[in-house]
Amino acid sequence: MPKIDVQFGVSYRSSPGPQIAANSVAANASVQPSLGRPLSGGAANVTVNMVEPGTLFGDRLNQLDLRFGKVLRSGRVRTVISFDLYNALNGNPVLSENATYRDTTVSGWRIPTSILPARFAKFGVQLDF
C-alpha cells in the first residue's frame, strides 16, 4: 500500500498428506512357495508394501503464513520493520509417519515421525542505504 508505506504478504499452502504405506518384511521361506524359487541373490527376506502405492494419503496440510511491514524513510535511508507469522492457523498435520507394518499388537505403523511446526512469529528490520 504505497500511500501509507505498509507492506503485506500472504502465503497459503494446501497439499495432500503423506502417502500411506504398510511395509512388511517377508522371509524367504514364506515367499518361496508363491514364487516357486528362492529370492534372488540369496536374500534372506524381502520388503513388501501391503498398500497399493498412491491410493491412501494422510490428512491434508493447510498452512497460512502472513507478513506485515512498515516502511520508514529518512533522507536516502529506507528502513522496513517487519512482523512475520508462520502457521497462522496453528495446524499440526503429520508430515511423515512410520511405514513399517508388523502383524502384532505392538506395531509402530503410522506413528508420526514429524509434524508441521507450531505457530511462531519473527520480527525483522531491513536497512537500505
Q: What is the pLDDT of residues 19-42, one digit of tens each?
A: 999 998 889 888 889 888 988 888
> Which ranges in the chain belong to alpha helices (H)?
28-35
pTM of the predicted structure, to 2 decimals: 0.71
* Extents of the domains making up the chain: 2-17+60-128, 21-56
pLDDT one digit per residue (tens) for the chain, 129 residues:
677 899 999 999 999 999 999 998 889 888 889 888 988 888 899 998 989 998 999 999 999 999 999 999 999 999 999 999 999 999 999 999 998 888 766 678 889 999 999 999 999 999 999
Tell me the C-alpha distance between 39 and 31, whole Å: 8
By the 8 A CB rule, do 97 and 116 touch? no
